[in-house]
Chain A
Amino acid sequence: MDFNNTKNGDALVVIVSGRMDAITASEFDAQCQSWIEKSETKVVIDLSGLEYISSAGLRSILSAAKKMKGAQGELLFCGLSGMVEEVFNVSGFAAMFKIYSTTEAALAG
């Protein structure tokens, strides 16, 4: 899994690509920890390059979201499609998180 971080105004835009599975999901936890340590409070996660996510990935995202919320921050998501979008829908994550079609929409939201 790869992370490409770009600062955009007050927000941090993170493009996540590759596979978020039981082997790699902990990398997301580590990334989230670094955002909290840098006092990022609005993190836009662009999943358009994510090929795959399993429940292990959902677990990491939920854990990260709880920690962000505890630090008065929030995670926003954009660029969902295909199976990644279906997994977000089935799990209820699509309703629980703020989801936008594009990074621009997330930054404006």
Chain B
Amino acid sequence: MPSIRAKADISSLPAIRDYVLNIAREADIKGDVPPKLDLVLEEVLVNVANHAYGKHGGEIEVDCSVKETSDSRTFCFQMRDWGIYFDPLNVDKPDTTADIDERPIGGLGLLLVTTLADDCQYTRHDDMNILTLSFNV
């Protein structure tokens, strides 16, 4: 399956969403994995769109694959960007017990990603950030 390359911008969300969910559909992946994919792909795209590049913007590349062993099946989603070094797995977790007055606005996207994906890996390779999220299917 070829990868998809798009502007690191929220306007790319519909195209990336169609790309990822179509691959999941073709692989006959059902249950709660497609809704989880739907959510995490938005969260990681928004994160890169807001933080990876300066005002000149940049691109992202996404691909998906299904890995099968004799006793397991895993859907892998990978997003790559060429922005500043950023490890989304190494950020402080927001306080989810604070009340309405004390709660800062924002910071929940990456918490949703790390909670919903079964496995998360981040690698910096040369000038590229690589985030791989896996889901047991």
Contact = CB atoms under 8 A, between A and B. Distances in A.
Interface of A: 21-23, 52, 54-56, 58-59, 62-63, 65-66, 69, 82-83, 86-87, 90-92, 95-97
Given A56-B42, A59-B106, A91-B112, 19 more contacts: A52-B39, A54-B43, A55-B43, A55-B46, A55-B106, A55-B108, A55-B109, A55-B112, A56-B46, A62-B105, A65-B100, A83-B32, A87-B112, A90-B111, A91-B96, A91-B108, A92-B96, A92-B98, A96-B98
Contact of A95 (B10, B97, B111): B97
Interface magnitude class on chain B:
20 to 34
A82 to B, nearest CB: 7
Chain B interface, DSSP helix/strand/loop, else mixed = helix
Nearest to B47: A55
A49 B78 CA distance: 31
A21 B43 contact: no
B35 interface: yes
B101 interface: yes
Contacts of A52: 35, 38-39
24 contacts: A22-B10, A23-B13, A54-B39, A54-B109, A54-B112, A55-B43, A55-B108, A55-B109, A56-B109, A59-B108, A66-B100, A66-B101, A82-B35, A83-B39, A86-B116, A87-B112, A90-B96, A90-B112, A90-B115, A90-B116, A91-B96, A91-B112, A92-B96, A96-B99
Interface string B31-49: 0100110110011001000
Contacts of B36: 83
A87 B40 CA distance: 11
B42 A22 contact: yes
